[in-house]
Amino acid sequence: MHMRIGTTAVCVWLLAVQAQASLIHIGSQKQFFIDDYLIESMLATRQVLNPARKVDHNPIIRPEKPWEGNDVRVSKVIYEEEEGLFRMWYSVNSYKASEDQGEFIVETGGGNLCIAISKDGFHWEKPNLGKVEYQGSRENNILPREQFRPYFFKDRHEKDPAKRYKGFERTGTTRTPGMQFHLYFSPDGFEWTAYENNPVIDTSPRVGRWGPTVFMGWDPIRETYAVHMENCAHLRCPLGKRLIGRAESPDMIHWSHPETIILPDEKDYPDLQFYHMPVVVYEGMYVGMLWNFRTTNTSILPQAVFSRDGIHYNRDYREPFIPPGPGTSFDSAVVYSQDPQVHEGRLLNYYTGVNWRSPESLYNLGDKALGAIGLAVTPPDGFVSLDGVHGHERQRYPFSEVVTRSFTFEGDRLHLNVRSALRQWGAGPCEVRAEIVGSDHHAIEGYGFEDADPITTTGVAHVASWKGKSDLSDLRDRPIKLRIYFKNAKLYSFQFK
């Protein structure tokens, strides 16, 4: 039997299929307001970067032992879940400048590697390792060179415990065309075994070499291993600038050719280049610490950049994510941020701060020249917030407002991450109401503004409710929008659970 379908019916069916295909399905993934991916409109609202907050007891590690000179710099921080312990690998050096007929000469010394440990990531101890002799004693935290690989990470994706840690050593210098990376495996991050078919990365002498490099490790979004590097200046590319590239590998052995993913644009200073970019995945979003390098004043400061696919990065927020310190404080000249650590919902941003950059500034500071390790913390989801208007503007807009695009979800409760701005702005009481809207832009019955129970306090996971009802299982698989009204508040994220 053959069925004939009218032209009108076919068109309606096609439109329905296209509408369904165009919907955003967010499932139970946390949603941020970093970009306009899910934002349809905003009223009396702006997206605001919230710089990481430095801890009060910075620097958390400073040079204070005889073998630490006047400069300590963080190399790697790893949280060991099995032991409930943070480990920090850091280098120690001594820098001093002298003047000779108007020329400034920098003398360096030290170069050892050390270990520090912490139970909470905030307060650190320097354990007595007893492994390396220094000035006739082994009572120190110096690590033997053979127990360290300059580029390493803990591979939580790896099934073989003997290969839980992966590290690389690089050969080749800025003056030597071509470069090689040799792969090593370790069960504990200290005892290393070389891969039998090294090197696994071998750049052509004709091309040059990668610049500063950081291995991200396993990328759970793209389901591959990834590395980010300075991909232009040292590779002799036509632009001749420091740019950020990315290469990928299914097994840490076979690597793709790096492709440039971030370069300066018309909003940047003409002398701006990108030196380095550690990247971490946070709640389904890539967060990168992009080192902004100004060649005229030689400053280096991190800019927070965000991506949903690991290739296209949002650089809307140009201010430093970790700003420099005042005066001649330890982080007043440069801030070298490392890959952030996601721990208990927060982002722990460890960085090296230095109060000099040029030989002249080192000479002028004398004994006050310092390199030390700092910590700046981002609360859960706290990178970018939607901030409503305040002050005299509040008279024009009783509420700030954001409307999302249509989406479908999984779960039966809506959680909102909200912070009262009462202390920050000296404003009135916080109030947030979530309205659930259909595709026709009208509130669904029972989920309107008057039905919404107001949220009036700070909380990272407030459960929204409407006249006491919080169960949203009747709306699952139905296209909806959120229209969130708020005043005297910062709105960070939402999630259906």
What would the DSSP string read from start to end of 38-72? SEEEEESEEEEE-PPEEPTT--SB---SGGGBTEE
Helix residue ranges, H only, 281-431: 359-365, 422-425
Same domain, yes or no: 24 and 136:
no
Residues 309 and 206 in one domain: yes
Higher pLDDT, 13 or 344: 344
- Output the domain CATH number for residue 160: 2.115.10.20
Check whether residue 25 and residue 159 sit in a common domain. Answer: no
Q: Give the least confident one: 120-124, 205-209, 445-449.
A: 205-209
Please give the tally of structural domains in the chain. Answer: 2
Give pTM, 2 decimals: 0.90
Residue 7 in domain:
no
Chain segment 330-360, per-residue pLDDT in tens: 999 999 999 899 999 899 999 999 999 889 9
DSSP annotation of 365: H
* pLDDT surpassing 70 at residue 238: no
Q: Give the whole-angstrom CA distance, residue 245 versus residue 239.
A: 14
Please check whether residues 410 and 468 belong to one and the same domain: yes
The mean pLDDT of 39-49, rounded to a whole number, is: 96
462 assigned to some structural domain: yes
Q: Where residue 465 sits, what CATH number does that domain have?
A: 2.60.120.260
Residue 177: which pLDDT band, with cuts at 50, 70 and 90? low
If asked whether residues 176 and 31 sit together in one domain, one would say no
**Residues 415-426: what's their mean pLDDT?**
80
Residue 309 and residue 424 in one domain = no
Mean pLDDT over 405-422 rounds to 93
Domain-located, residue 10: no
**In angstroms, how far is CA 448 from the centroid of its own chain?**
37
Sequence-distant (≥ 6) Cβ neighbours of residue 411 within 8 angstroms: 28, 472, 476, 495, 496, 497
| Range of the structural domain that residue 39 is part of | 16-50+384-496
Has residue 265 got a pLDDT over 70?
yes
The average pLDDT across 21-33 equals 87
Q: Of 378, 401, 432, which closes a domain?
A: 378
Buried b / exposed e across 216-231, counting CB within 10 Å, b at 16+? Answer: bbbbeeeebbbbbbbb
Pair 206, 61 in one domain:
yes
Residues 6 or more apart whose Cβ sits within 8 Å of residue 297:
none
In a domain, 11, yes or no: no
Statement to judge: residues 137 and 24 lie in one domain: no
87 and 208: one domain?
A: yes
Task: Say whether both 304 and 421 belong to one domain.
Answer: no
Q: What is the pLDDT of residue 393?
A: 63
Q: Tell me the pLDDT tens digit for each residue of 131-164.
A: 999 999 999 999 999 999 989 999 999 999 999 9
Please indicate, yes or no, whether residues 304 and 158 belong to a single structural domain of this protein. yes
**Separation CA 137–CA 66 (nearest Å):** 12
Q: Where are the beta strands (DSSP E) in 14-164?
A: 24-27, 31-32, 39-43, 45-49, 53-54, 71-80, 85-100, 103-118, 142-143, 151-154
Residue 381 has a pLDDT of 96
Nearest to 128 by CA among 192, 69, 84, 67: 67
Q: Are residues 467 and 359 in the same domain?
A: no
Q: Which of 337, 360, 378 is the last residue of a domain?
A: 378
Q: Which of 362, 378, 394 is the last residue of a domain?
A: 378
Residue 33, in any domain of the structure: yes
Asked if residue 5 is part of any domain, the answer here is: no
* CB 249, CB 255: distance < 8 Å: yes
Average pLDDT of span 197-207: 83
Q: Decide if 244 is inside a domain.
A: yes
Is 335 among the domain residues? yes
